[in-house]
Amino acid sequence: MTTVAAYAAPAAKAPLERTTVERRPVGENDVLIDIKFAGICHSDIHQVREGWGKAIFPMVPGHEIAGVVAETGPGVTRFKTGDRVGVGCMVDSCRVCTNCKAGLEQYCADGPVWTYNSIGKDGEPTYGGYAQTVVVDENYVVRIPGALPLDAAAPLLCAGITTYSPLRHWAAGPGKRVAVVGLGGLGHVAVKIAHALGADVTVLSQSLRKKDDGLRLGAAHYHATSDPATFEELAGHFDLIVNTVSAPLDFAAYFSLLRTDGTMVNLGLPEEPVPVAMQALFGGRRSMSSSGIGGIAETQEMLDFCAEHGVTAEIELIRADQVNEAYERVLASDVRYRFVIDTATI
C-alpha cells in the first residue's frame, strides 16, 4: 500500500479537507497514474451531500482524471511510463455480462465499480481523483491524445463522454435540431460536440446571461427558459433535447418542444423524483430517455474525436483548497464552465 495526499469529505455534507488515502500496490494489469488534474462534476457534489442516497465516507470525489503513467504492472500491454492518460467514472466491471461484452460497461449487470463511493473487487472502498495518484486496471484507462492539453481534457472524462454518447446514439448531425438545456459543465461540452457533429444547436438556459459564450461555443441559437415566449416560439421544433440540468424541471413544457418522434434524453440526475405528465409525450410519439456516461471504447473514441475537432472544456483552474468554494459556485450555477483542480496543490 502507498499513502498519498488527497482531498476528502470526512462525512456527508461536510467540507472537504486535506487528508491521506491508501492506494493498492500495482498489480499484474494495473497502471499507476500520477494525477495532474481532476475536474469537479456536479455528481461529486450530489454524492458528497448524500443527495443520491447513502454514501461511503471519507469520500475522495473526482471522476474526471487526467495524468501521466508512473508505473505499469508486468501484464500491462497498452500503456507505458510517461503516457498521458485519463480515467472517468468507472474503474472496473464484471467484464462477462452482455453489456460489458458489448462495450457498455457503464450498464454492467453487476453494476460497475465506480471511481469513488464504491467498493472495489478487493473489497475496499474506491477513492477518486482529488488525489496525487490512483491505481487502475489498464482496461479502464484511456489515452489522452497529444493535441489535448491535460487540464482542459480532464472534464471530457465525464462531461465529454456523457454528452458524446447520447449525441451519437440519437444521431445528432447535419439536418438535426439539437437543444442543450443548461449551460454548465456538461452543457457547454454538449454544445461544442453537437456543433462539431454538424447539428443545429440551441441553448436553453435559465437566462440570457451566458448568451455570448453559448454562441461562441457553437450554438446557433440561445433562449431563456425563464421567458414563456421561448416555449411558444420553439414548440415542436427539436429532434433531440439533451437535458443537463441537475435539478427537477417542468418536463411537460420541454416535451412540447419536440417534433414528432423527437427524444428528450435526460443526463441530469436531480436528487428528488420528478413528476411527468404522460399526455405531453403522447402528442407526437415523443420519447423520454436517459443516458449514463459511456463505455470505455466509446470514451476513447470521444477523446480522439475531440482531438480531431479541437474540442476541450472551458475551465477555471483552482487550487485544492478552493474546492469547497467551487462547490458553492457550481450550486449557484456560477461556473464557466468547469472547475479543474491542479492536483499539485493538494
Q: What does the binding site for ligand NAP look like in residue numbers (CB under 6 A)?
A: 41-43, 46, 158, 162, 182-187, 205-206, 210, 244-247, 267-269, 291-293, 330, 333, 335
Closest approach, Cβ 68 to ligand NAP, in A, equals 24
Q: What residue 247 binds from ligand NAP, Zn ion, none (CB within 5 to 8 A, per partner kind)?
A: ligand NAP
Assess contact for 183 and 211: CB atoms under 8 A.
Answer: no
Q: CB of residue 101 vs Zn ion: minimum separation in angstroms?
A: 8
Any idea how long the chain is? 346
Beta carbon nearer to ligand NAP, 76 or 186: 186
Of 29 and 333, CB closest to ligand NAP:
333
| DSSP result, 304-345 | HHHHHHT----EEEE-GGGHHHHHHHHHTT--SSEEEEEGGG
Interface characters, 105-124, with Zn ion (x: CB under 5 A) = ---x----------------
Q: Is 45 in the site for Zn ion (CB under 5 A)?
A: no
Asked if 257 contacts 235 with a C-beta cutoff of 8 angstroms, the reply is: yes
Quick check: 287 and 240 in contact, CB under 8 A?
Answer: no
Among positions 47, 93, 243, 343, the unique one binding Zn ion when judged by CB under 5 A: 93
In the complex with ligand NAP, which residue's Cβ is closer, 115 or 343?
A: 115
Q: In the chain, where does DSSP find H-type helix? A: 42-48, 98-101, 150-153, 159-169, 185-196, 211-217, 228-233, 251-255, 279-282, 296-309, 323-331
Question: CB under 5 to 8 A by kind: which of ligand NAP, Zn ion, none does 219 bind?
Answer: none
Binding status of residue 313 toward Zn ion by CB under 5 A: no
* Alpha-carbon 23 to chain mean position: 24
CA-based nearest residue to 143, from 77, 67, 230: 67
Residue 72 or 243 having the CB closest to ligand NAP:
243
Cell readout for 290 is 436517459
Name the residues that contact Zn ion, by CB under 5 A. 41, 43, 93-94, 97, 100, 108, 158
